[in-house]
Amino acid sequence: MAEREASGLQVLLHTLQSSCDRESVLTILRVLADLLSVGTDRRIHYLISKGGSEALLRTLVDTARTDPPDYEVLLPLFRLLAKVGLRDKTIGQKALELEALDVTLILARKSLSHSQRLLHCLWALRVFAARVTTGAMLGINGAMELLLKVIPPYTHRHSRTIRAATEVLAMLLRSKSNSRRAVNQGYVTSLLRLHQDWHSHDAAAACVPIRRGLLLCLRNVTTIRSGREAFLAAGGMELLFSHAQDDDLETDVDKLTAKPGLDRPEEELLQYEAMCPELSCGFEELESQSGGDLNSGCANHQHIPAAASPKPLRVGQDQGSQERAGEDTIQASLLRMVKTAGARSRPATTLHPAGRANGLGTASPGNESPGIQAPLEEDARGLGAVSCPRLSAFLCTAARCGDTAAELEELLKSRPTHVAFHDPHLFMAKAKRTRSVVDFEMLAFPDLWGHRPPPSAQSMLERKCGIQRIKILEDIRRLIQPSDVLNKVVFSLDEPGLLQDTDSNSLRFFSKFESGNLRKAIQVRECEYDLLINADLSSSQHQQWFYFQVSGMRAATQYRFSIVNCEKPNSQFNYGMQPTLYSMKEALLGRPSWVRAGSEVCYYRNHYVRHVAGAGGARGRCYYTLTFSITFPHGEDVCYVAYHYPYTYTALMTHLDLLERSVDRRQVYFRREVLCHTLGGNPCPLVTITAMPASNSPDHLEQFRHRPYQVITARVHPGESNASWVMKGALEFLVSGAPAARLLREAFIFKIIPMLNPDGVVSGNHRCSLSGEDLNRQWLSPTAQRQPTVYHAKGLLLYLSSIGRRPVVFCDFHGHSQKKNVFLYGCSIKETLWQAACTVGTAHLSEDVSYRILPKILAKLAPAFTMSSCSFLVEKSRASTARVVVWREMGVSRSYTMESSYCGCNQGPYQGLQFGTSELEEMGAMFCLGLLILEFKSTSCHHQLLARAAAVLNTEDGALDFHLQRCSTGSSTAELEDEPPCAEEVEYSVGSGADPDASFAELDRQIQACAFDADEGAQAEQEDAEWRRKGIP
Ligand SMILES: [Zn+2]
């Protein structure tokens, strides 16, 4: 075989050099490329030993001398040369002797305006210049001048060519004579300037290889003494030092201080007047305020129509005295919640007294009386069976499955759920209106039935020593001992025909419901399943969120689940966090709760790697496995497992309806508008909350209309369901009867957009909208067509700003997957410049430090909040986030992102606990309370309000005093590490980077990729796009 190949190869090489026929040459080049694209380096070394390099170089020289040069031959030839040259240590010498060096340099010069041709020449020059003397020769012939012409100041075009030029230049500068020439020509300063420019413009860190190439040039030139002197004289040390401080900080003072112009015609802002009816409302009805609908008097607004509820609601019933009694309970308990924030058990969980009336709720796990057990199993099985194929076709047509609805009705009658601010009937009605691009076949039971937080927060999971090692060895054992490996696909969205075998021992999976996103389940061993989750719609990435149904489990059996296509390089799952679980049987036993569950939880990089073809350009990305084991609380149950406590769009719409019905309309002004419709056709709600004016006297109306605004948004990232729970807490607090809430309503008008990305939430996305975009990177220039919710949220803020009513505070609620606790990101020019060690032109800058007051208040007020993770830096990569845009364009100095951990706290009263929904809801309430205290502390505080506030705060048990005391004494928030060191060494490095040989492999890869792609222009485009995309962190 080897012999035949050898003779064949020699014939090919001979023909290549002697043939004048273009077609033959092209064919031979193609054959050689094929030959070398597979197998090991040995083939290339064999080719070299048979004179392959010389043959290629001679062909190059011959082809280049034709006029005009035939680039159809030259380009594949250059690719082969680069590939062979990487392994031929003497290629530089050979190129010099055969005059290929000059020829290539001339071709490069001629190709200055042809990016692709130039790129190929540069690849060849790079391998030639690997030999220092050849590099020196290139220097003498003016190669450095040429390369500096190719490396422009920052641009997002031709990044591959520019990168190659920096790499060739770095190669050349390994020669001392070239370095001396560079110093003499003043190139050190040019290189520093270029680096400065690329560094400061490359906000998204998309051009790191170019910046690295430039740094490499500087490093090589400073190996000679005159190079070091030139470097120091040009201020290189200071410059690079300041760059290294923080790569991502905005240091352009103009950008930090200048207010950009309006992103749309000014007339367009007028449409938002309709979303602020409170500014024009006449309240004529106030005089006859006996139960009339006060809201109906205002024109200029669209109501989101409330679905008719078939049953009387449990919260805020419409009958007079009963209502007030119930309401008082709510108010009292909310106040208690505020006051006893430090305590771990929160009465918020028992908002509604009826919630405790359920006798079943007293049963404890494993202690069910047999009498209950039997029918219960039936219920669970019945609903479970119904769930999969039949039940919740509710979404499609309720009429068609009337029997199923009746079944559920029956169940609800016998086991009322009593979850505060939840109503299954209303939920069902709302679900019918939720639009999805994905077909749903059912409603997830937890969303329908409701969730009541367990009585106390759960501790973080202690990590077993060596667990990751054990899990990885288990994975490897599949290959070594395949005897017990089943590898049976038991669920797959891609194979709709795949029937779930209800009789087998396999678990059954399902995910065709709102926010569900399981794509495939593979039974690996008897009790072990690999799961694949969907990428975000219109995107090939962002797998992290998961939500699926699992049934058919056996009692007292431990199952291992591994989600094998996660994308983030690390996770709180390695630091005490558990996934969440909801059991239908538990719910029917009166414990309708999402709980943290799972043992042996760990998160590690696996052996799967994305391939070129399927990755849409994102090559070589690696995947991570989240693995956990669950012993389900009951056999034959229907359970749901999720990344974090789900909170769907339908849940929000239900919640808003119930909130609206719960308010005392004589006191609370509560309005819902449609901010806009999403791309998927879902209305995005905008909520306004303030106090009704005391009367319709001009004074009262005046005060009403002039209350300052507070704007809160949430859930732009659909996977961050924690943000929705925080929002839920804030909303419930704001409409409550707690004295602090009353004061807040009297002091402010709250404009709230609780879900900025409904479509993403509905589809089970983690990060993006339907168009595959991260909406929190679109605030600079959103469009009504592509990012309607961001466009109109920004429009509303611009409108408020244009009428002189910009909000006191803007805050966007998020979830954080890497850190613990709750914290704020704000914006400060001074802190940013200081952190970046950039002091140029900052002397005249003045900035008040009011942005720090709210986080300081929250640190003392809210048990989950910590000041130590707060940051007030303006990063270039965040230039298009809500926080930075609202700060810069609307001039809101207190513009924040509030991040809540998915995991829990490592400080304060909740130290060592994972967040439950109550802790998150409490955080929402505390945030609002913080706004009130902020107002007390500000000078503008209304005197009358202050007096009343003092009265409120001095009430009975002095619990609030306790908080205020915390405020004034200042509990010491010790600087805490975000993460304790992981018990095990976890290997997370992605493998590209420091290793200099890696760049060789990288060049090889680029050549290969280019050779595969016939349409090279498109390839360059694609790469550019990829770089831009990669920039999104
Ligand atoms: Zn987020």
Asked whether 691 and 746 are in contact (CB, 8 A), the reply is yes
Other CB atoms within a 10 A radius of the CB of residue 102 amount to: 16
Please state, as a whole number, how many other Cβ atoms lie within 10 Å of the Cβ of residue 815. Answer: 25
Q: Tell whether the model's pLDDT for residue 1018 goes beyond 80.
A: no
Stretch among 8-22, 25-39, 103-117, 979-993 having the lowest mean pLDDT? 979-993
CA 796/CA 40 separation, integer angstroms: 61
CATH, residue 580: 2.60.40.3120
CA distances from 902 to 579, 757, 812 (A): 10, 19, 16
| Per-residue pLDDT at 963 | 40
CA of 766 to the centre of ligand 1 (A): 10
Highest mean pLDDT of the ranges 416-430, 737-751, 834-848, 1011-1025: 737-751
Summarised one tens digit per residue, pLDDT across range 103-118 is 999 999 999 999 999 9
Cis omega (within 30 of 0) for bond into 996: no
Model confidence at 356, pLDDT cuts 50, 70, 90, reads very low
Q: Name residue 504's amino acid.
A: S
Query: How high is the pLDDT of residue 958?
Result: 42
The residue with greater pLDDT, 360 or 1031, is 1031
Half-sphere exposure of 514 (CA within 13 A, CB side): 32
Residue 461 and residue 496: Cα distance in Å, rounded? Answer: 37
Distance (Å) from CA 717 to ligand 1 centroid: 5
Residue 976: the pLDDT is: 34
Which of 950, 966, 998 terminates a domain? The answer is: 950
Q: Of 462-471, 718-727, 780-789, which range is least confident? A: 462-471
* Distance from C-alpha of 729 to C-alpha of 940, rounded to nearest angstrom: 27
> Over 70: is that where the pLDDT of 246 sits?
no
What are the CA-CA distances from residue 372 to residues 53, 139, 411 (Å)? 83, 89, 14
Domain-embedded: residue 650: no
**In 3-state terms, what secondary structure has residue 510?**
strand
Ligand 1 midpoint to CA 817 (Å):
9
pLDDT band at 922 (very low <50, low <70, confident <90, very high): very high
Which range of 31-45, 375-389, 591-605 scores highest in mean pLDDT? It is 591-605
Residue 380 lies in a domain: no
**If you search the block for the tokens 């004529």, which residue do you land on?**
284
Residue 261, pLDDT > 50, answer yes
Cα–Cα dist 880/838, whole Å: 22
CB-based neighbours (< 5 A) of ligand 1, an ion: 717, 720, 814
User: How much distance in Å is there from the Cα of 896 to the middle of ligand 1?
Assistant: 12
CATH of the domain at 691: 3.40.630.10
The helix/strand/coil state of 726 is helix
Cα distance between residue 825 and residue 248, in whole Å: 15
Checking if the pLDDT of 1010 tops 90, the result is no
Identify the band that residue 940 occupies on the pLDDT scale cut at 50, 70 and 90. Answer: low
Q: What is the CATH number of the domain that holds 225?
A: 1.25.10.10
Neighbours of 563 (CB within 10 A): 26
Which residues lie closer than 8 Å to 477 by C-beta, 6 or more apart? Answer: none
User: Rg of the chain over CA atoms, in angstroms?
Assistant: 33
pLDDT of residue 517: 93
Q: Are residues 623 and 670 in the same domain?
A: no
Asked if the model's pLDDT at residue 431 lies above 70, the reply is yes
Q: What is the mean pLDDT of residues 253-276?
A: 88
Domain assignment of residue 439, yes or no: no
Portion of the chain with pLDDT greater than 90, in percent: 54
Helical spans, DSSP H, in 19-114: 22-37, 41-49, 52-65, 71-85, 91-97, 100-110
Residue 976 lies in a domain: no
Does pLDDT of 628 surpass 70? yes
Task: Give the confidence band of 960 by pLDDT, cuts at 50, 70, 90.
Answer: very low
- Identify whether residues 793 and 933 lie together within a single domain: yes
Range of the domain at 530: 458-642
| Residue 151: per-residue pLDDT | 94
Domain termination site, one of 894, 917, 950: 950
621 in the same domain as 736: no
Whether 1023 has a pLDDT exceeding 70, the answer reads no
Confidence check: pLDDT of 920 > 80: yes
Instruction: State both tokens at 594.
Output: 């999402």
CA distance linking residue 415 with residue 587, whole number of Å: 9
Supply the residues annotated as catalytic.
899
Mean pLDDT of the region 641-662: 96
Q: Residue 831: what pLDDT?
A: 83
Task: Provide mean pLDDT across the span 818-828.
Answer: 94
Residue 882 CA, ligand 1 centroid: distance in Å? 11
- In this prediction, residue 942 carries a pLDDT of 57
Residue 726 has pLDDT above 70, yes or no: yes
Residue pair 783/774 in contact (Cβ under 8 Å)? The answer is no
* More confident of the two residues 1010 and 1018: 1010
638 and 667 in a single domain? The answer is: no
Kindly indicate the confidence band of residue 39, based on its pLDDT and cuts at 50, 70 and 90. Answer: low
Pairwise CA distance, residues 226 & 221, whole Å: 9
Lowest mean pLDDT segment, chosen from 268-282, 315-329, 521-535, 1014-1028: 315-329
Residues 154 and 47 in one domain: yes
The whole-number average pLDDT for the span 1012-1031 is 46
233-247, 313-327, 631-645, range with greatest mean pLDDT:
631-645
Mean pLDDT along residues 36-65: 88
The tally of domains found in the chain comes to: 3
Which pLDDT value is given to residue 94? 95
Residues 129 and 220 in one domain: yes
Q: Which residue has the higher pLDDT, 1 or 364?
A: 1
Q: Are residues 804 and 870 in the same domain?
A: yes
Q: Using the mean position of ligand 1's atoms as its centre, give its distance from the Cα of residue 658 in Å.
A: 27
Q: What is the mean pLDDT of residues 25-37?
A: 88
Which residue, 170, 248, 262, 257, is CA-closest to 209? 170
Question: Tell me, what's the pLDDT at 400?
Answer: 37
609 within some domain:
yes
pLDDT at 34 (0 to 100)? 87
Maximum average pLDDT range among 395-404, 579-588, 972-981: 579-588
807/946 same-domain check: yes
Residue 640 has pLDDT above 90, yes or no: yes
Report yes or no: 427 and 651 within 8 Å, Cβ to Cβ.
Answer: yes
Question: Of the residues 888, 920, 950, which one is the last residue of a structural domain?
Answer: 950
Centre of ligand 1 to C-alpha 823, Å, is: 13
673 and 579 fall within a common domain: no
Query: Which of 396, 314, 283 lies closest to 657 in space, CA to CA?
Result: 314
Question: Rounded to 10 degrees, what is the CA torsion of 894, 897, 901, 906?
Answer: -30
Q: What whole-number distance in Å separates Cα of residue 32 and Cα of residue 35?
A: 5
Per-range mean pLDDT, top range of 426-430, 606-610, 644-648, 764-768: 644-648
* pLDDT greater than 70 at residue 70: yes
**3-class DSSP state for residue 492?**
strand
The pLDDT of residue 285: 62
pLDDT of residue 1000: 59
Q: How far apart are CA 128 and CA 90, in angstroms?
A: 9
Tell me what the mean pLDDT of segment 994-1018 comes to: 56
Please check whether residue 974 lies inside any domain of the structure: no
Residue type, 425: H
Burial 443-468 (b: 16+ CB within 10 A, else e): bbbbbbbbbbbbeebeebbebeeebb
Q: How confident is the model at residue 673 (pLDDT cuts 50, 70, 90)?
A: very high
Residue 886 dihedral angles phi and psi, to the nearest 5°: -65, -35
* Residues sharing a CB contact under 8 Å with residue 361, sequence separation 6 or more, in sequence order: 589, 590, 591
CA–centroid distance, 950 to ligand 1, in Å, is 37
Res. 986: pLDDT tops 90: no
pLDDT of residue 345: 36
Same domain, 161 and 229: yes
Which tens digits make up the pLDDT trace of 831-871? 888 777 666 666 677 777 889 999 999 999 999 999 999 99
| Of 724 and 204, the one with more pLDDT | 724
Centre of ligand 1 from the C-alpha of residue 56, in Å: 53
pLDDT of residue 247: 63
Whether 80 is covered by a domain: the verdict is yes
Q: Is the confidence at residue 395, as pLDDT, over 70?
A: no
What is the CA(668)–ligand 1 centre distance, in A? 31
**b/e map of 259-298 (b: 16 or more CB within 10 Å)?**
eeeebeeeeebeebeebbbbeebebebbeeeeeeebbeeb
Tell how far the Cα of 490 is from the centroid of ligand 1, in angstroms: 33
Higher-confidence position of 418 and 546 = 546
How far lies 72's CA from each of 84, 120, 916, 1006, 1020, in Å? 19, 12, 64, 19, 17
Q: What is the mean pLDDT of residues 770-774?
A: 89
User: How far, in Å, from the CA of 536 to the mean position of ligand 1?
Assistant: 15
Tens digit of each residue's pLDDT (9 = 90 or more) over 520-576 = 999 999 999 999 998 888 777 888 999 999 999 999 999 999 999 998 888 999 999
Å from CA of 732 to ligand 1 middle = 22
What mean pLDDT do residues 736-740 have?
Answer: 92
**Strand partners for 92:** none
Q: What is the pLDDT of residue 943?
A: 60
- Say yes or no: 562 and 702 in one domain: no
The band of 951, judged by pLDDT with boundaries at 50, 70 and 90, is: low
Domain assignment present for 495: yes
Judged by average pLDDT, the poorest of 205-214, 399-408, 553-562 is: 399-408
Separation between Cα atoms, residue 38 and residue 275, nearest integer Å: 64
In which band, very low, low, confident or very high, does the pLDDT at 260 lie, cut at 50, 70 and 90? confident
Q: Is the Cβ–Cβ distance between 277 and 299 less than 8 Å? A: yes
Same domain, 638 and 668: no
pLDDT for position 479 = 86
Stated pTM of the model: 0.68
Give the least confident one: 527-531, 593-597, 1007-1011: 1007-1011
Residues 6+ away with beta carbon under 8 Å from 775: 716, 717, 756, 757, 760, 768, 769, 787, 789, 790
Q: What is the mean pLDDT of the chain?
A: 80
Cα distances (Å, whole numbers) of residue 51 to 9, 58, 867, 996: 10, 11, 68, 28
Residue of 465, 1033, 456 whose CA lies nearest to 774: 1033
Among candidate residues 109, 107, 27, the one with its CA nearest the CA of residue 65:
107
In contact, 564 and 532? CB cutoff 8 Å: yes
